[in-house]
Amino acid sequence: MVSGYNEMISVIIPTLNEEASIEATLRAIKQQADIFEIIVVDGGSRDRTREIAGRYAKVVQGKSGRANQMNAGAGHAAGEILLFLHADTILPQGALGKIPDALTRPGVAAGSFSLRFDTPHPFLRFLTFFTRFSWWWARYGDQGLFLKKKTFDTLGGFKDISIMEDVDIIRRLKRQGRLYIIKDPVTTSARRYLGKGIYRQHILNVFLFTAYFCGMPPEKLKKWYDDNR
């Protein structure tokens, strides 16, 4: 791949039974005209996820749990820049080429993309409106998180928690500098909202965020979340 930058980007994707989504995500990355590697960290899929991913990426096995898998991917990464991406999130054309420039801006510690869902529901559009701004509380793992590997290592990676690992690392990154938002949106699946009901899922999300910020342990949050899925 050819790029105006010499820094390689390692795209790290944690997976668990993602055969329905992973191929579209990987194809979108392969269309990027930049220097990159793709590392898929599988947490024990029982479907064809690893088989499909193996056509496009390096596949490694990791201990189940998104935080564990992303840390494992970072451990295998050769790139100077890390991009953590969900298995059902599609990068826009030219996305990778904008990341190195974003990270060279004064005071920037990390960044992400604005977000849109693959379902044109008015309430979902309302939710994604706030992802255009660099407010830390409006950041979601679905948006992709990119940062220098040396910054990631300085932070000690993702905390070994079962939920809210993305919120936790973003809060810690804010102490390192500001978050930069690339306005071109990634497109992520609305399957959680459609499966549970859009408003019910949103209420669940609000409860989880509020409880986490009030100090509820992630293990209790995860149990409550699993019981109400």
pLDDT digits (tens, 9 = 90+) for 116-131: 999 999 999 998 888 8
DSSP states of 54-84 as a string? TTTSEEEE--SSHHHHHHHHHHH---SEEEE
Q: Which helix (H) or strand (E) holds 220?
A: helix 218-227
Which pLDDT belongs to residue 138? 55
CATH architecture for segment(s) 9-188: Alpha-Beta Complex (3.90)
Helix (H), strand (E) at residue 116: strand 108-117
| Spatial CA neighbour of 158 closest among 59, 82, 80, 58 | 82
The residue with greater pLDDT, 218 or 147, is 147
What does the pLDDT average to over 164-174?
93
pLDDT at 1: 40
What does the pLDDT look like over 33-80, one tens digit per residue? 888 999 999 999 999 999 999 999 999 999 999 999 999 999 999 999
Q: Which pLDDT belongs to residue 132?
A: 79
Q: What is the DSSP letter of 91?
A: P
Task: Report strand pairing: 36-42 vs 9-15.
Answer: parallel
Q: How does the average pLDDT of the chain come out, rounded?
A: 92
At position 202, the amino acid (one-letter code) is: H
pLDDT of residue 3: 43
pLDDT of residue 136: 61
Which residues are CB-contacts of 41 (< 8 A; sequence separation ≥ 6)? 12, 13, 14, 15, 59, 60, 61, 62, 69, 70, 72, 73, 76
Percent with pLDDT over 90 in the chain: 78
> Does residue 205 surpass a pLDDT of 50?
yes
CA dihedral 114, 63, 75, 141 (to 10 degrees): 10
Residue 97 has pLDDT above 90, yes or no: yes
Q: What is the mean pLDDT of residues 163-172?
A: 93
CB 57 within 8 A of CB 38: yes
